[in-house]
Structure 1
Amino acid sequence: MAHPFLRLKGIALPMPRDNIDTDELIPIAENTRTSTKGWGDGLFAAKRYLDGLGHTPDPSFILNQPPYHRAEILLAGTNLGCGSSRESAVWALRDFGFRIVVAASFNETFKRNCVINGLAPLILPRDDVERLSQQVIADPALGMSVDLLDSELWIGGAREQAGTIPFVLDPFYRTLLTTGKTEDDLLGGLRGAIDQRRAEITKSQCWLAS
């Protein structure tokens, strides 16, 4: 699990399109590495570069334009991360520098892969994604702030002035992201209670142990 975090203020990348799949996030030709590091250069490679694997930046692609080139938050439409289940799509986002992905909906496998790799998958209504994207485009330097504990995000740094928008994040996933623990860590912490309950059931319903 990556380093835990509770809050983040960073540049947001507006891509409010539907069905951004894992092959768009990391084309198959970029899947040549054997570790989780070094994948950032391949993120959106088919659209980000003029010559594919040559990696000559296309200045018209938004991720190559300041300040989006240092974005930490991605805004997307519905069904983000659809397609194949390749975890390298999440590795590419994480290695580039993203910590949060906001979408109207996620592919479930992609969403779980995000959490495992320290990337927070936040769900917002489609209208809110569109509105936030327009605000970001109008003034990208304002950035976006996210509070995982309060389940709120807002444009800029001053929460009171900007007005907050609530998002959906599974409570179990929130615990993993804000503590830096893995699923095994949390289950291990419950082992004593599980063993005690098993002993109680075995004693009261002994036929279950036979």
Structure 2
Amino acid sequence: MMGTKLKQLIICFWITLPFCVTQKAKDRSPRQRDAEFPDKYQTCMQGVPGVQGRDGNPGINGIPGTPGIPGRDGLKGEKGECVSERFEDPWKPNFKQCAWNSLNYGIDLGKIAECTFTKQRSDSALRVLFSGSLRLKCKTACCQRWYFTFNGAELEGLCEGVQAGLVDIGIWVGTCADYPRGDASTGWNSVSRVIIEEMPK
């Protein structure tokens, strides 16, 4: 009789114990059960890492933004300077000498000699020098003058305004205003030279 009651008590305890454990597990929240899961199964081995995923497709363009507020006009600037640059070839020397041995030209009025020069630029000037003997004889006060012409035009000092190309440079003798003409002679018993040089302005 005692053995039968003990068996019934053990069976009742065996049936009631799982019910109590299950009831306690039901009373816990899902978060508490998830926290207990790793502690219970710590002996499990970690699996092989998975293959890395691919990049996703590019997203669609967003909605265009609204136009901004138009800017205001700035302050008026100061007036600039007009600068013009000239790109030209480097300056090259250009000169010529014409020489005559013993001209002995005894005219008192007219052209004595001529030298042709090739001018390279239109914006340059010409300088002409004469070297030689000049003679003037007079019984009373008289005057003669020697001068140069450029393509027939008499110019003074540095000759400007002559176009590029051939230029005929003449040596002339003439009279002076308000004075009688004398006896002139050019290049007597000597070498006469004309040196022509083209110069930048």
Give the TM-score, by structure 1 length: 0.19
Q: Larger relative CO (CA 8 A, sep 6+): 1 or 2?
A: 2
Larger fraction in strand: 2
Give the TM-score, by structure 2 length: 0.19
